[in-house]
Chain A
Amino acid sequence: MTDPVLIVNDLSVTYTVGAGTFYAVSDVSLEIEPGRVIGIVGETGCGKSTLAKAIPRLLPEPPATIGSGSIVFRGTDLVKVGRRQLPMIRGTGIGMIFQEPLNSLNPAFRVYDQLLEAIQIRHYREMGWVKSFQGGERPFDYSKPPDTTTVAGSLSKIIVPSGAAEEAVRDRLATRSQFREEVLSYLRLVRINDPETILNLYPHELSGGMRQRIMIAMALSEKPSLLIADEPTSALDVTIQAQVLTLMKELIDEVQAAILFISHDLGVIAETADEIGVMYAGRIVEYGPVAEVFRDPRHPYTKALLKAAPAHYKSDGPLSSIPGSVPNLSRPPSGCRFHPRCALARDVCKGDTPPLAPVDPAAPPESRHIHRSACYFQSEVPGLP
């Protein structure tokens, strides 16, 4: 297997608000390889969005503090990177699609200018004009011809159908028309039918779904090696949501980037991700390949989440909900944070935090990709009906 693009080790993020401290993310570990999609799912307030923003160091510090842990992106620990170096990592290194397409585009600039800016950032970094991540090293090695025998290689061809600006990279600066051609090609990539017209519009003249497509195009046009999608469809109407999700799914197959997909919607994660991490009160409580986790959840919280999902509505009668309430993260419960709401909880759950242990006792405990659950009594979790 290829080396992971991103390794998150025991990451903890806290917010200091007045006198209180909120433990938004606690001891989260992740690994993402190129081409893999990892889904993070959880209720509002479980820290998944904080996690997504902490990786590219987008959280305002203060009030946020990265308390401990490391975020190793392609060999560099982002926690230790200085404020001035951060922009070099963003865009071409880590791209991000946000939840709020309505406000994520700058209302004062045309679609064209905003896409052009992203492409130019990448282009200048490739040219070595602007110092980029890791002392001018190119985010991707474009000097080699794409290897069409691998999935990744063939995909890089699909990404830029015209390849106009990319051609120019090898010897000289791209011309205006080459930039324009590339902007158009990215609009086509996100299935925009009439890119020539869209180019000259301002964001307020576009629908929410359209804006989100442009946001996706903008993020992809910088060819990030890690793409973080923070609830990209949650703010859209249901029908538009389905369209954008379909697009995302198609693009995921085309992009070679590692993808971290954040959502509160189990269905969305089930459709898009390879692996899933379930977050509760700032911790990952269960992790594993999507199919396994959905078929056989080994954590009482995951079980409850799956039961609460509308898919089980008919068979279960009334929609079930989880008793109790989400804990206040300024005073998280001791031990397992789910114990106050857990039917299986015993005294040991109140004492120590259960480790994220492999479900299969025979599996190597250090592997990050196998099905694991942070429950002392994971074997007692009843199966789904």
Chain B
Amino acid sequence: MATATSSAPVRRGDHPIVVFWRVLRANPLSLFGFLLVALICIVALIVAVAPHVLVPYGPEQETGLFNAPPSWAHPFGTDGLSFDVYSNVMRALPLDLGLGVGIAGVSLVIGGALGLIAGFYDTPGTLGGYTSVSIMRVTDVFLSFPSLILALAITRVLGPGILNVAIAVIITWWPYYVRLVRGEVLAVKHLPYVTAARAAGVTENRILLRHVLRNVTEPLVVYFTLDIGTVLVTYSTIAYIGVASKYPGPQPEWGAMLAFYQGSAPISSYPWLVLAPGLAVFVTVIAFSLLGDGLRDILDPRTRRAFVRGAAPEPPAERPTPDAPAAEAESDRGEVPVVAPDPGAVA
């Protein structure tokens, strides 16, 4: 495949932070996403540690104003129970963000480990081979279920509650990471430099840790970034359907809030009630999506070219290189980083 060559912004050997920054600088949408993610994380941290700095009212504290429209005192208005909507939306932020990161993180660890095993020890006929095959069979079956539906059914069995819903989502979530990591491992495993390492007598375990793992990290980070948003949407949908957390309560949650407000008052008269938690989900998810989507554009050789064209135009195809007089112009390919595949239907 004719990918862009040496002037591309991603170069093997550069420090990841340098690459990351170069990527962000070149793509305004990703930079915006990154700043938004940073802001959201800082706000969530402040709310979790010292809520009084940003949140004027308690979760079930009455303000005396019923269904008041947004004002300076109540930026998102008040609801039919006279609670301050802004305070509740802010109090939900650490929980929703934490669930997104936590569920995606646990899935990443479980799925990633299984994916590494399935991808790396896949010699047919060995113990590893059988393990690999069984892991993939189970994964395939899991991937047949729409995550939301299976998670809902499992929640039904485990009973409502934040932890139970989190477990239910994790049960449906890890297979995506198995598929991703295994694909990456298989792609990396047969690259010339890994073969060279093997030929040089480096042990298999060391290859796994040093070479393969390192190359799997990039797409995994990108996928994880996008996934936080998807998990958040899934979790809040389960909450919206009404089998996760309850609202009103000591710990607000966006999906549950929206469901409650939708049922409690006519939306067209009090639109801020629904818009506040809804937009909170939207903004959080789109921040992670903008960041992740931009990152993936860079790491995916298929789309990298467009990015390169937008940020820094490609070099001419036959640009001579000073140190290789009559060498083939195409000879400087092969520094393409590994692929970040599509997340598929995880919504």
Contacts and interface: CB of A to CB of B under 8 A. Distances in A.
**Chains A and B are bound partners:** yes
Interface of A: 15-18, 22, 24, 43-47, 49-50, 60, 62-64, 324-329
Contact of B329 (A44, A60, A325): A44
B312 A17 contact: yes
A221 to B, nearest CB: 27
Interface stretch (B93-101, B169-177, B224-232, B319-327): B319-327
Contacts of B325: 43, 324-326
Given A18-B7, A44-B329, A327 B318 contact: no
A49 B328 CA distance: 13
Given A326-B320, A329-B320, A15 B326 contact: no
B313 A22 contact: no
A64 B324 CA distance: 23
A24 B313 contact: no
A46 B322 CA distance: 13
Contact of B320 (A18, A44, A60): A44
27 contacts: A16-B313, A17-B316, A18-B312, A24-B316, A24-B319, A43-B325, A44-B320, A44-B326, A44-B329, A45-B319, A45-B329, A46-B320, A47-B318, A49-B317, A62-B313, A63-B309, A63-B314, A63-B316, A64-B316, A324-B325, A325-B324, A326-B320, A326-B326, A328-B321, A328-B322, A329-B319, A329-B320
B315 interface: yes
Interface in B1-36: 7
Contact of A44 (B312, B314, B323, B328): B328
A50 B312 contact: no
Interface centre among B312, B316, B327, B329 (most CB of A within 10 A): B316
Nearest to A329: B320
Contacts of A62: 313
Q: Determine the main DSSP class of B at the interface with A.
A: loop
A15 B314 CA distance: 9
A17 B315 contact: yes
Interface string B112-146: 00000000000000000000000000000000000
A16 B311 CA distance: 12
Contacts of A44: 318, 320, 326-329
Nearest to B317: A49
A96 to B, nearest CB: 15
Contact of A17 (B313, B320, B328): B313
A16 B316 CA distance: 9
Contact of A50 (B314, B316, B323): B316
Interface in B318-347: 318-329
A15 B328 contact: no
A22 B322 contact: no
Contacts of A45: 318-320, 329
A218 B275 CA distance: 59
A17 B7 contact: yes
Nearest to A281: B320
A377 B327 CA distance: 30
Given A45-B318, A50-B316, A63-B314, 15 more contacts: A15-B313, A15-B319, A16-B313, A17-B316, A18-B312, A22-B315, A24-B316, A44-B320, A45-B320, A60-B309, A63-B316, A325-B324, A326-B320, A326-B322, A326-B325
Contacts of B322: 325-328
A325 B323 contact: yes
Given A45-B329, A326-B325, A50 B318 contact: yes
Contacts of B316: 15, 17, 22, 24, 50, 63-64
Nearest to A61: B313
B306 to A, nearest CB: 12
Given A16-B313, A17-B313, A17-B314, A22 B323 contact: no
Contact of B319 (A16, A22, A325): A22
A333 to B, nearest CB: 12
Contacts of A63: 309, 313-316
A62 to B, nearest CB: 5
A327 B314 contact: no
Contacts of A328: 320-322
A26 B309 CA distance: 24
Nearest to A24: B316
A48 B68 CA distance: 73
A327 B327 CA distance: 13
Interface centre among B315, B320, B321, B323 (most CB of A within 10 A): B320
A42 B313 CA distance: 25
Contacts of A24: 316, 318-319
